[in-house]
Amino acid sequence: MSGIVIRNGQVVTALDQYVADIYCDGGKIVAIGERLDVPAGTEVVDASGQYVFPGGIDAHTHMELPFMGTVSSDDFFTGTAAGVAGGTTTIIDFIIPSRNQSLIEARDFWMNNAKKACADYGFHMAVTWYGEQVEQEMRRVHREDGISSFKVFMAYTGAIGVDDDEMIGVIDTAADLGALVTAHCEHGLAVQALQRKLVAQGKTAPRYHAESRPSWVEGEATNRAIMLAKCSGQPIYIVHLTCKESLDAVVRARQEGQLVYVETCPQYLLLDDSVYDKPDFEGAAYVMSPPIRPKGHQDALWHALSCGLIHHVATDHCPFRQHDQKVMGLHDFTRIPNGAAGIENRMALMYTYGVAAGRLTLQQLVDVCCTQPAKIFGLYPRKGAIRVGSDADLFVYDPAARSTISASTHRQRVDRNIFEGFEIRGAVTNTVVAGKLAFTNGDLRVERGAGRYLHRT
């Protein structure tokens, strides 16, 4: 058996919606139409009454990331498998060299780890220091590996963070290459000063993580990133934007005609900082950077998403187990590994709390979760589209299903789910990855190592 046909679903793209069959063979979509004739032996998925979406693209994940004295707990296999169960068929992860490490050496390490992925993957290259060598290595990974996006951390000063001078160097080199710079925007030195003050006052519980990184810390850095990009006449992509102050900076720049791309994540749309009030160190599960914001910011993000100011909803999937990883910071929030899982739940959360709640159209859902990340990061129309010739990465979503998110049933390799108890409308029933049925009615049939590395343009 080779081909597969998805019959009679409501095909949804960023622009369209229509009932059709989709026939896939050789890993590609080869025909779209009504009542398609297909060869005998073709596998059939009946999608009547269900939606058929392009496979989700998550342009912000951290599989098996060495970070804060430990390693994120999903590897490239378990993390992409959880993604497939949730309708995500492509990730763009980050190669993150340590300060003074060769970008090439880091590349080789990450590329080797990623060979176990069961879905296609690309990499952004984080640039964590700058100089002649780094400039040459940026050019080399762009040329050799099709890495067309670079990432700078304005946070994590003294570790992987860069200063403004280094950041300008990265922006200028990326500009010369025609590559995009993405930025984690938090004022690293301000965070450190606030952390020192809080810890000195004995304020060491998880909730002080949020106090050490207030929204103005992010807004300041977002504005600075935008200004540094402007200084080089370049667009910039803001990762995991969470707050009104940052949106204000983006709106200002866009009104002046500067191209600023914006990403947010479901946790910033759906949670507020009351999560840090949970007893018994449970707040640690929500320790991520930037932190979950006070009430009010979430509505601003939803509005920005619905009016097109936010381009992509990624996850920043970066799980750490509560019982042996988050506890590293039991007596000092600055030592709690920063990050949480989310890749498995993104599409269902965005359908439920976006589309079903009347905040997004189906087309907007596809646009922000599938199509725009493909366009921005050089994967379109191979990915992010349902058209003849595109990769056969699709998922089928049954809007009638109901479920509740729980760490006890999720596939992410972590013992907490930050969306525990969230009710979900609809469910991913089938996921097709490179023309193969990799998930069907709860049965995960992914193949370790089947994912391919994506050169980007």
Nearest CA-CA partner of 61 in 103, 21, 4, 119:
119
Binding mask 164-193 for ligand URP (x = CB under 6 A): --------------------x---------
Give the residue with the Cβ less far from Zn ion, 311 or 382: 311
Does position 59 bind ligand URP by CB under 6 A?
A: no
**Interaxial angle between packed helices 132-145 and 103-114, expressed in degrees from 0 to 180 and rounded to the nearest 10:** 30
Interacting positions 233-292 with ligand URP (CB under 6 A): 288-289
What is 37-104 written as a DSSP string? Answer: ---TT-EEEE-TTSEEEEPEEEEEE-TT-EETTEE-S--HHHHHHHHHHTTEEEEEEEE-PPTT--HH
Q: How far apart are CA 193 and CA 206, in angstroms?
A: 17
Does position 415 bind ligand URP by CB under 6 A?
A: no
- Give ∠ CA 382-387-389 in degrees, rounded to 5: 55
Residue 316 C-beta: closest distance to Zn ion, Å: 4
Give the residue with the Cβ less far from Zn ion, 107 or 240: 240
The residue assigned the tokens 């080199």 is 173
Return the residue nearest ligand URP (CB atom): 338
Q: Which does 307 bind (CB under 5 to 8 A by kind): ligand URP, Zn ion, none?
A: Zn ion
How many CA within 13 A on the CB side of residue 203?
A: 12
Q: State the distance between the two ends of the chain, measured CA to CA, in whole angstroms.
A: 34
Q: Which does 390 bind (CB under 5 to 8 A by kind): Zn ion, ligand URP, none?
A: none
- Give ∠ CA 273-242-12 in degrees, rounded to 5: 115
Q: Which does 191 bind (CB under 5 to 8 A by kind): Zn ion, ligand URP, none?
A: none
Nearest CA-CA partner of 122 in 386, 387, 314, 340:
314
Residue 96 C-beta: closest distance to ligand URP, Å: 8
Q: Kindly determine how many residues on this chain lie close enough to bind Zn ion according to the rule CB under 5 A.
A: 3
Does position 128 bind ligand URP by CB under 6 A?
A: no
Q: Which does 430 bind (CB under 5 to 8 A by kind): Zn ion, ligand URP, none?
A: none
Q: How far apart are CA 92 and CA 59, in angstroms?
A: 4
Residue 443 neighbours by CB distance under 10 Å: 10
Q: Kindly determine how many residues on this chain lie close enough to bind ligand URP according to the rule CB under 6 A.
A: 8
Interacting positions 299-338 with ligand URP (CB under 6 A): 316, 318, 338
Chain centroid, CA 247 distance in Å? 19
Does position 316 bind Zn ion by CB under 5 A?
A: yes
Interacting positions 60-99 with ligand URP (CB under 6 A): 62
Q: Which does 10 bind (CB under 5 to 8 A by kind): ligand URP, Zn ion, none?
A: none
What is 178-237 written as a DSSP string? Answer: TPEEEEE---HHHHHHHHHHHHHTT--STHHHHHTS-HHHHHHHHHHHHHHHHHTT--EE
Residue 410 C-beta: closest distance to ligand URP, Å: 19
Give Rg (Cα) of the chain: 21
Q: Which does 339 bind (CB under 5 to 8 A by kind): Zn ion, ligand URP, none?
A: ligand URP
Give the residue with the Cβ less far from ligand URP, 45 or 65: 65
Give the residue with the Cβ less far from Zn ion, 184 or 456: 184
**DSSP run (H or E) holding 375:** helix 372-376
Q: Which does 120 bind (CB under 5 to 8 A by kind): ligand URP, Zn ion, none?
A: none
Give residues in contact with Zn ion (CB under 5 A).
184, 307, 316
Give residues in contact with ligand URP (CB under 6 A).
62, 184, 288-289, 316, 318, 338-339
